[in-house]
Structure 1
Amino acid sequence: MPALSRPRVSVIIPAYNSLPELTRAVTSAMDQTLGQDRVEIIAVDDGSTDGTGEELERLARTCPALHVIHQENSGCAGVPRNTGLDHARGDFVFFLDSDDYLGPDALRRMVAMADAHGTDIVLGKIASVGGRAVPRAVFQRNQPRTDIFSSHAYLTLGPWKLFRRSLIERLGLRFPPYRNCEDKPFTAAAYLNASGISVVADYDCYYVRYRENRTNLTLTASDLAHRMDGTRLCFETVARYLEPGPRRDQIMRRHVEWELCGPLRGLLPRESEQDARERFFPEFRHWASTWVTDALFQRLDAPDRLLVHLLRADRFDDVLTVARNAGRDARRGHLVDKGRVYWLHPFFRDHTAAVPDICFDVTDRLPVQHHLEAASWHGGVLRLAGHAYVEDVDSLDPATEIVLRKYRADRPEVRLPTTPCPSAHPLPGEGRRYEMAGFTAEIDPATADGGAPLERGLWNIYLDVRAQGVSRTVRFGNRREGGEVTHPTRRRVTTSQGPVTVVPYFTPYGNLSLDVGEVAHPLDPPCQVLRTIWHTRSTLLVGGRLTEEAVRDGGALRLRAETGTGGVHEVPVRGEQGGSVNVFTARLPIGRLGPGCWTLTLVMEGPGEDAPRRTAIVPYFDRLAATRWLRFGCRPYYAKPVALGPARALGLEVAPIKVVTGVRRRLGG
């Protein structure tokens, strides 16, 4: 088959007695802006008896891209997905459950992300319909290229993702024939072997919902009998692809928490005591003994540590007791003892239970609440005011400190005291529990470092929140009262080593930092744009030169197009082949931009969440003309360059051309 006839995406829809939700699912795939000529839809009727097969045939008569396959009922979603995979021809595969549906622009956005960054898996933002739980942590922002070790991607093991088909075929991946948890080993294996993962977080790509008749497999096959095979395969899959060590522990933790401890608490008490003791407990005990290393055990939350300890010790009756009372016991209070905080579970320091204190230690898990309420210069001294406390630890004998850590420098941190005071705002808790959580602090750049001035460079500000001997250190500034605290202006400070300029600023994550000496000020542009030309009718080329500071810092530069309504499209900036290290070009495919006015900027962020963001406008050059092109091969569009604001930043007005208007102009009427 010629390469040009191959679809970009094969959408695979397993369907069993899926009416009435099925129609919405299929039509959402048919109506993708990527275009029916670039999408094939493979719907597999898994022996339905409610008219699902007939509805699929009706839809197929209206859409050449829809191919229907009928097979005997398999009793699970994995087998019809495998049938779809056997027939798929697309560069990518997307698994769409018949209960759910796609956003109209979902596939176009995900394919564009994979193409631009060479990634094997793309996660599109998942939205809930009717209250079904959805993952949120991984979708806080777009991530052009990441992996499972530096993102929250591994928390989402559902198959509703864009997979590069060559990855699936190279690994020989297929779904096991289980009624529940069949998707997790498949997705885990793909994650563990993927060449990069992308996240589309600025658009609702996938909508999940429960069926009207509540016959989703996740509901009808939710007991332990349907979960054990899939869970066992999850652990074995991780062990197959990762060597023992911190990386394996990091990934195993997800399965220990979600597939071992969660079902143990929620489902084991529902089983008969004989099944629980003889059928399921030995398997749970084997997993806890085999896959939970001592290092991983330390990273678990206290309720999970307690369960794992009891499993390893072969204490079935105690495991069942803890599982049955989990909801009630979770609400028990805490004890502060010698600078540590312990969960007051009935087994805590009960000599008959003989459970070590480590199973109840929650010191490093308690949330720290903190807010910056004011930041202002008083002469050459920066004064901060705020409040901070560790939840469930009364603010008695508070001794919170400001901690300054120099960015990307191996040198001792700088610690400064705060002055405790009553909080200026009412805080939660009974009586006067957190009354003394307020504080004020002074940072004098001329003397802060043990009487010496702060070294030139970027300094990140932390809080070491202390009370009753309990200490927790957190990054400071990203929570500001009412969102109204702004950074003070730069200040010229006289030090023993001469005058220096100090600039407080907020990082891209909202944390407060100091730039001492403006060595590489985050507001200074990282580059200069020297040209903008049309590389093709629908591709804009932006070229320029990085500053020496930007080259030295080694941050990742991206060309960003965004609209005032929240639309964002980014492409990487690459060095010119064979050229100087500070010469760059970026190619923006404007054919992927929707209608609207798009502002262009260049954005550089260094590695790490405390790295400053530096931006540069793409200027408007008079010589850049308007352009026209055909979208999806048939619809005419245009992009008109415009100058925006006093800085004359480049904007692109993108819109479809009205065919009638275009014809009239050509005819002069």
Structure 2
Amino acid sequence: MGVKVSVVVSVCDPGPADDAFDACVRSLLEQSLPAEQYEVIFADDGSTDGTREQLDTVAGVRENVRVLHLDHSGGPTRGRNVALSVARGDYVYFMNQYDRLEHSALQNMYGMAMRSGADVLVGRLAGEGTPLSAFTGSRERADVLRDRLLGLPTAHKLFRMGFLAENQIRFPDRPLAEQAFVTHAYLAARAIAIHAGQICCQVATPQEDGQEDPAALVAGLRTILDIVEAYTPPGQRRDRIQAHWFRVLGLRRLGGARFEAAGDHHRTVLFARLRELVQERVPARLDAYLPVHLRARAALLRADRQEELARLAAASRGTRLRAELQEVRWDQSVLTMDLAVEIVDAGGAPLRFHAENGRLYWMPPTPIEGLLAPEMADVTEAARRARMEVYIRDAQTGVVYFLPVTSTVQHGRDGDGVRVWAAGQARLDVGSAALGRPLRPGLWEVHVRMRGVHPARTRVARAEAPMNCAGVLADYPRRLVMPCWSGKGELSVCVEPQSFPESIALVSPRASVTHSDDDVYVVVPVPYVPPSGGPAVELVLRQMGGRGRGMTVPALVEPGVPGRLAGQLIAKVPVRRLGGEGCLGPGAWRPGLRTEGKDVDLRFTLEVGFRGHVRVRPAGTRPTPSLFRRIAARIPGYAALS
């Protein structure tokens, strides 16, 4: 039996002791596919850190491993092309040096590729970056536009070797080579399949390159437009694909922090090069497929109005999506989250639109004369189609799953304009959220995305209003599931906390205090109290700074109503203005829970003032300086002494 899959890994100076690179190598050597049925080709781009010797050692004991020793070229393109010329597999898969294949990835992908007869198979990816809408389900016949495959531009895919040879598909020797290769393969393929059932590859976050050469960037974009024209007839499909690459690789570079940080010369050259491209290759009809704020950039680019484009970019800085959590509740074992999302500016003010004759028109954040024709500024249909999408992301692996959402678009008058927002419900069934399978244990982040007028995504930040953090025992086997806030104060869902104290720690930012004479009662929510009442718990308090004193007090746990009302942990703590043994004194105190001799830190701080008043501060916030420090800070030279 011949080689089924060749895996090509681009390598350049990862460091001989680099843990991430070692994990990559191990993942390749420990595949479930028998060793004689796959090969690994390391394309080493002139490493000088001992990597070549390390890889030669691996190849010396593993017959299915080969190393290509190449002169340094500064990128993966040449190595990938050389590897393609020597690869022996029926299919080839490309990786980078810090990526990691899952144990059964090659076996699963190859099996589906053979069943579907795919020229290209897109295996499920996990990692940082934009959520991957393509992986809402497996498909044996995927479509580039319908399934949003253009949002997956990297070469982490299974390509049939015969198909690449027949169509002479190689990585061009210029910037955007990977995007050009993948676009060529997408459009030339007779069959593209999506394997979404299991994670295939953990993709490492790419490092930011230095400042791009505008001429080289535009040359790479021209190559991609050439490929699109060669493989798609004139019409809407061609226009939509070209508009996508014009937006992602061109217009996005004319705004944002990177554009503003670049020097005047770089911005001028980039603007000029992109304008040449627009005049020659990008007809104005493509602008209809752009979000309205990028239509404005395109209009300014076509009109040669660079200074106004810079003003628009500066005025748009900080525009973002804001998501508000209105309610969390359980419907048996399904968690329902009521959310509202809206685009706001840097100051938090909602974006407003001009209303006239029943139509909505975009209002630029800075006045620009004759910027857009009325039909291009019209966002009525985009607002009508706007929708909220909610997905969960495994904080450990980066895998993403979209949740069922029902949402509506709402309008409201705001001064001389109209606000547009989406409101709706997302439902999380822990037993089936992973494409019909239960979610794995761990912390799952909740992310929100809005499509329509101004596409954007965000996390749900902790609101002032209390959240129902009651948990339930869901699915089979029975395990605790609970909404909570991450360490950064963002909405998450924890599946099967590691322990009873850990479940309390996750929701502890909602702690409160009540004063009574010379004591204070510390109250912390408890998501779920088992019928046994749980283990005995003590509240441990350690003074931050100063003498580092500590004290321990017993805590009482009161049960709530599973899924409806959280229980609570209550600890009575004595407080004295001057402090002393066995009581809280002025300063900041870090709390923890102790059960069976083990401590778990809670996510808040108790701050005690000189008058004995105690307040709760979320973890990570600076404590208020004491009265002494506030007075001393006014003394000349105090800062230097402290």
TM-score normalised by the chain length of structure 1:
0.53
Q: Provide, for residues 611-660 of structure 1, a one-character-per-residue CA deviation record: whole Å limited to 9, x for no partner.
A: xxxxxxxxxxxxxxxxxxxxxxxxxxxxxxxxxxxxxxxxxxxxxxxxxx
Equivalent residue for 1:197? 192
- Per the TM alignment, residue 47 of structure 1 is displaced from its structure 2 partner at its CA by 0.6
Q: Which among 357, 364, 367 is matched to residue 374 of structure 2? A: 357
1:110 touches 1:162 (CA, 8 Å); kept in 2? yes
Unmatched 5+ residue regions in structure 2?
A: 321-344, 346-350, 390-404, 441-642
**Counterpart in the other structure of 1:457:** none
1:324 pairs with 295, 304, 314, which one? 314
Q: Which amino acid aligns with 1:271?
A: A
Instruction: Determine the structure 1 residue equivalent to 2:94.
Output: 95
Candidates 290, 296, 315, aligned match of 1:300: 290
Deviation sequence 1:527-546 (CA, Å, 0-9, x none) = xxxxxxxxxxxxxxxxxxxx
Q: Is the 8 A contact 2:132 2:151 kept in 1?
A: no
By how many angstroms is 1:30 displaced?
1.7
Q: Distance in 2 between matches of 1:358 and 1:311?
A: 18
1:139-154 correspondence runs (5 A): 139-154=135-150
Measure the CA separation in 1 of the matches of 2:173 and 2:406: 54
CA distance in 1, matches of 2:215, 2:419: 47
> CA 1:104/1:354 → structure 2, altered by over 3 Å: closer, same or farther?
closer
Structure 2 residue corresponding to 1:165, chosen from 147, 161, 167: 161
Matched, 1:273 2:273: no
1:184 and 1:481 map into 2 onto residues whose CA distance is: 34
- Work out whether 1:52 is the aligned partner of 2:51: yes
Tell me the secondary structure at the aligned position of residue 108 of structure 1.
Answer: helix
2:360 partner letter: V
Which residue of 1 is the match for residue 357 of structure 2?
Answer: 338
CA positional deviation for 1:275: 3.6
- Give the SS at the match of 1:107: helix
Q: Is the 8 A contact 2:9 2:97 kept in 1?
A: yes
Give, as a single letter, the amino acid of the residue that structure 2 aligns with 1:361: D
Task: Tell me the residue number matched to 2:38.
Answer: 39
Shift, 1:328, TM fit: 4.5
Structure 1 CA distance for aligned equivalents of residues 48 and 67 of structure 2: 16
TM-aligned CA distance change 1:223 to 1:370, over 3 Å: closer
The one-letter code of the counterpart of 1:335 is: H
Give the Cα–Cα distance (whole angstroms) in 1 for the partners of residues 226 and 314 of structure 2: 29
Structure 2 counterpart of 1:464: none
Alignment of 1:81 with 2:98, yes or no, is no
CA–CA distance in structure 1, aligned partners of residues 13 and 150 of structure 2:
31
Any gaps of 5 or more consecutive residues in structure 1? 211-215, 372-385, 397-429, 432-466, 485-507, 510-561, 568-669
Aligned pair in 2 of structure 1 residues 280, 482: CA closer, same or farther (>3 Å)? closer
Aligned to 2:278: 288
> Quick one: distance in 2 between partners of 1:14 and 1:221?
22
CA distance in 2, matches of 1:479, 1:329: 22
Instruction: Please tell me the residue identity of whatever aligns with 2:192.
Output: I
SS of the residue 1:61 aligns to: helix
How many aligned residue pairs are there? 387
Q: In structure 1, what residue type is equivalent to 2:262?
A: E
> Which of 224, 242, 245 is the equivalent residue of 1:255?
245
Matches within 5 A, 1:519-598: none
CA distance in 2 between counterparts of 1:282 and 1:188 reads 26
**1:9–1:91 CA contact under 8 A, matched in 2:** yes
Aligned match of 1:182: 177
**Where does 1:20-31 land on structure 2 (aligned, <5 Å)?**
20=18, 21-31=20-30
The one of 287, 304, 322 equivalent to 1:314 is: 304
SS at match of 1:200: strand
8 Å CA contact retained: 2:352, 2:419? no
Q: Distance in 2 between matches of 1:469 and 1:133?
A: 29
Question: Please, which of 409, 434, 457 is the counterpart of residue 390 of structure 1?
Answer: 409
Residue 152 of structure 2: aligned partner = 156
Deviation at 1:289, TM superposition (A): 3.3
Deviations 1:383-408 (A, max 9, x none): xxx997424x12x8xxxxxxxxxxxx
In structure 2, what is the Cα distance between the partners aligned to 1:75 and 1:187? Answer: 20
Per mean C-alpha deviation after superposition, the further-off stretch among 18-27 and 33-42 is 18-27
The whole-number CA distance in structure 2 between the counterparts of 1:290 and 1:109 is: 45
**Given residue 227 of structure 1, which amino acid in structure 2 is its aligned partner?**
L
Superimposed CA distance per residue, residues 332-363 of structure 1 (whole angstroms, 9 cap, x where no aligned partner): 42222222222321456x5x455433443322
Contact 1:135 1:156 in 2 (8 A): no
Q: TM-score, normalised by structure 2?
A: 0.55
Equivalent residues of 1:125, 1:202 under 8 A apart: yes
For the residues of structure 2 that align with 1:98 and 1:325, how far apart are their CA atoms? 39
* Residues 50/94 of structure 1: CA separation in 2 closer, same or farther (3 Å cut): same
User: Matches of residues 55-66 of structure 1 in structure 2 within 5 Å?
Assistant: 55-66=54-65
Q: Deviations over 1:164-197 (max 9, x none)?
A: 011111122221233x522000110011100111
1:323-472 to 2 correspondence within 5 Å? 323-328=313-318, 331=345, 332-347=351-366, 352-366=369-383, 368=386, 389-391=408-410, 393-394=411-412
Q: 1:204 to 1:224 in 2, by over 3 A?
A: farther
The equivalent of 1:118 in structure 2 is 117
| CA shift in 2, pair 1:120/1:135, >3 Å | farther
Alpha-carbon distance change, 153 to 389 in structure 1, aligned in 2, over 3 angstroms: closer
SS state of the match for residue 308, structure 2? Answer: helix
User: In structure 2, what is the Cα distance between the partners aligned to 1:327 and 1:141?
Assistant: 36
Asked whether the 8 Å contact 2:59–2:66 carries over to 1, the reply is yes
Tell me the CA shift for residue 481 of structure 1.
7.8
Alpha-carbon spacing, 1:368–1:11, altered in 2? closer, same or farther (3 Å): closer
Question: CA–CA distance in 2 between the matches of 1:163 and 1:77?
Answer: 17
Partner of 2:540: none
State the alpha-carbon separation in 2 of the partners of residues 483 and 354 from structure 1: 43
- 1:593-624 superposed Cα distances (whole Å, 9 cap, x missing partner): xxxxxxxxxxxxxxxxxxxxxxxxxxxxxxxx
Cα distance change, pair 468–218 in 1 and its aligned pair in 2 (3 A): closer
In structure 2, C-alpha distance between the alignment counterparts of 1:337 and 1:177, rounded to whole Å: 51
Larger mean CA deviation between 224-233 and 187-196 belongs to 224-233
SS of match in other structure, 2:32: coil
User: 1 CA distance for matches of 2:218 and 2:207?
Assistant: 15
Identity, % of aligned positions: 26
Structure-2 change in CA distance of 1:88 and 1:369 (3 Å): closer
- Report the 3-state secondary structure (helix = DSSP H, G, I; strand = E; otherwise coil) of the residue aligned with 1:146: coil
TM-aligned CA deviation for residue 283 of structure 1: 2.2
Question: Contact 2:40/2:64 (CA < 8 Å) preserved in 1?
Answer: yes
Q: Structure 1 stretch 46-55 or stretch 284-293: which is displaced more?
A: 284-293
Pair 198,354 (structure 1): closer, same or farther in 2 beyond 3 Å: closer
Displacement of 1:293 in angstroms is: 3.6
Task: Look up the SS of the partner of 2:92 in the other structure.
Answer: strand
Query: Would you say the 8 A contact 1:309–1:359 is kept in 2?
Result: no
Check conservation: 2:407, 2:424, Cα contact below 8 A.
no
Q: CA RMSD in A?
A: 3.5
Confirm or deny: 8 A CA contact 1:339 1:469 kept in the other structure: no
* CA distance 1:314–1:335, change in 2 (3 Å): same
Asked whether the equivalents of residues 224 and 263 of structure 1 are also in contact (C-alpha less than 8 Å), the reply is no
Q: Give the whole-Å Cα distance in 1 for the aligned partners of 2:8 and 2:126.
A: 20
Contact between 1:307 and 1:319, CA under 8 Å: does it hold in 2? yes
CA distance in 1, matches of 2:169, 2:295: 33
Q: Secondary structure at the match of 1:234?
A: helix
Change in CA separation of 1:48 and 1:233 when aligned onto 2, cut-off 3 Å? same
Residue equivalent to 2:221: 231
The one-letter amino acid of 2:306's match is F
Tell me which of 190, 203, 211 is aligned to 1:208: 203
User: Secondary structure, in 3 states, of the residue corresponding to 1:209?
Assistant: coil
The 1:36/1:483 distance shift into structure 2, 3 A limit, reads closer
Give the secondary-structure state (helix, strand or coil) at the position aligned to 2:295.
Answer: helix
